[in-house]
């Protein structure tokens, strides 16, 4: 609790010091500029010679001009300190700037999402039309309405091969009378000899 109370007090003290610096620097600039204007006034003859008075006035003008420059530099330093103070301590303004930037980014995100959705719908429509055109052309070439793509290409290749006159030779079918069992039967017969049962 003590730290929370001390923090606003330190800020108030700092702001008061900034205000005092501002008033002092502005007063210094005004006073020195007024004295420079007074120095430019020609006075009557005095006990001091004009040459001496001129040198004195010249020196005074240089000093007062240097004071004006110093006060101006102090004001510039005060502006820098005020900017730093606002950046470090003005949390509502910082939060407001962050919220505004967040809203801008959300609006940009929503716009990008809308454009992407429109592009997706357009691409989907075009792709659907291309698929219909492709499958209709494939079915007209292969004479098959519901064939898969690989089978359609396979049938198209077969039609191309048959049109070029390419054919695969088939093996000759064996005759019914020359079966393998009938051809091998005479090899097991003995000429004029008894069979195994007769030999026993």
Across the 200 residues of the chain, what is the mean pLDDT of every consecutive 10-residue run? 48 86 93 88 71 84 93 93 82 84 95 95 92 80 52 62 53 46 44 43
Q: What is the pLDDT of residue 157?
A: 64
Residue 90 contacts residue 26 (beta carbons within 8 Å): no
Nearest partner of 79 among 10, 13, 33, 26, judged by Cα: 26
Q: What is the pLDDT of residue 80?
A: 92
Instruction: State the Cα–Cα distance between residues 197 and 34, nearest whole angstrom.
Output: 159
Is residue 100 one of the residues assigned to a domain? yes
Q: What is the pLDDT of residue 69?
A: 95
Q: Which of helix, strand or coil describes residue 99?
A: helix
Is residue 54 one of the residues assigned to a domain? yes
* Sign of the CA dihedral running 142, 145, 150, 155: negative
Is residue 95 one of the residues assigned to a domain? yes
Q: Strand runs (DSSP E) across 23-159, as ranges?
A: none
Residue 19 contacts residue 78 (beta carbons within 8 Å): no
Range of the domain at 43: 9-155
Is residue 129 one of the residues assigned to a domain? yes
Domain total in the chain: 1
pTM of the entire predicted model: 0.41
Is residue 176 one of the residues assigned to a domain? no
């Amino acid at each position: 609790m003590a730290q929370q109370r001390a923090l606003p007090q330190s800020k108030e003290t700092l702001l008061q010091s900034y205000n005092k610096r501002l008033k002092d620097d502005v007063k210094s600039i005004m006073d020195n500029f007024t004295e420079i204007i007074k120095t430019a006034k020609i006075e009557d003859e005095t006990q001091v010679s004009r040459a001496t008075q001129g040198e004195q006035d010249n020196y005074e003008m240089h000093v007062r001009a240097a004071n004006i420059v110093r006060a101006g530099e102090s004001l510039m330093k005060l502006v820098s300190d005020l900017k730093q103070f606002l950046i470090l301590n003005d949390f509502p303004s910082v939060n407001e700037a962050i919220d505004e930037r967040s809203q801008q980014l959300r609006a940009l995100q929503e716009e990008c999402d809308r454009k992407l959705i429109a592009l997706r719908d357009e691409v989907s429509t075009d792709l659907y039309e291309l698929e219909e055109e492709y499958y209709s052309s494939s079915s007209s070439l292969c004479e098959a309405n519901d064939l898969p793509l690989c089978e359609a290409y396979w049938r198209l290749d077969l039609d191309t091969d048959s049109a070029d006159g390419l054919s695969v030779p088939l093996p000759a079918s064996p005759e019914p009378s020359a079966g393998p069992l009938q051809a091998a039967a005479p090899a097991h017969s003995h000429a004029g000899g008894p069979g195994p049962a007769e030999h026993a």
